[in-house]
Structure 1
Amino acid sequence: MFGRRLLVTALTAVIVGGLGGCSGGRGDDSAPDRPSASVGGAPAPAPAPETVTGLRDETRHLAERTTRATRPRTVRRCTTGTRRVRHTSRSGSGIHRTTRTWYTTEHERDCRRVRSGTETYTEVLRPERWCVRLDDVDGDREKDDVWYRVTRADYDTALAADDHARLEFVPQGRQDAGC
């Protein structure tokens, strides 16, 4: 009975796997054709990051915001001790069986982390951010004043560029992401 159940389960898994491989991974017909997993045995290439183009409007640098905080300090504390261990050895058989017993002292060490006061550390409330605001985002004149988080290098490029100069970069965060 168990063998038959295992056989049915394995057969079901093979059928579901085969149907899943044939589906191509698309749920609707309106999506463009893309390779589903691999081409010629090689893994599918990662999608290229989406670049954003627009006219430079404004730049903003948000400095890192930190505060001093305290937390419990833990230290490793070890205790040593000894314990007496009983050993036995048996030999012979029947009425000639003898048991020899002896004791040894074994040393043991027990280490634990325990609280010992507090320590202060620097807690980051807001990480450092570089932001650029664009007009005419991706050529759409209706999309103005959209903020993007960018890398430091892209920020420096935008800072050095003239007002309303065309910029192209890969945003680090979604638009209007905390800028």
Structure 2
Amino acid sequence: MNGVLTFIPPTEEHAQILLDWRTRPDIADQMLSEVPYDVERQKAWLRRCAERTDYVHRVLCVDGTPSGHVSITITEPAWKIATIGVLMGEKAGRVGAAPLNFAYMLNHVFFTLGLRKVVNHILGTNSPRLLKGQPMIGYRPVGVLARQVVKDGREIDLHVFEMLADDWRATRNRFGVYTDMDGREWR
């Protein structure tokens, strides 16, 4: 195993594994939305996603094995702003080269899609390492929306981070990843 990352467009064949990941308690607890356990509904979601022009997603594979799901949602098309989402369903998606998935995604956001800004919202219940790592990637902490999200009766802080295309251009050389999620090289 070399830890080689590839990104493949999800199909209905991925519905079961994506649903299993999205509804697993440790993952569902970190998501903003709830997903009912319904394979047919998951397949319908995948079909709708394939028709969208404001949403790009891939199954992250480590050494050819599906290990996670990554997405880019264009939230403000006129302003060229997006948000990204990352779900690591398997341990292989959390170790080795896999945590560099953000570099491929940011290259996709800023070069392939030509967007100008990413704004991410991260639940305060996520790993402190995840929150502390955002500025190391190049994100600027915007602030914390105190007790913004309510899940299972718990009030949870929502951390907001942003990155401009210029910020990524200045930071990306540290990571040595110059391709996007589809393998296009951007130097």
Q: TM-score range by the shorter chain?
A: under 0.3
More strand by share: 1
| Structure having the higher Rg | 1
Structure 2 length as normaliser, TM-score? Answer: 0.19
Of the two structures, which has the highest relative contact order with CA contacts closer than 8 Å and spacing of 6 or more?
Answer: 1
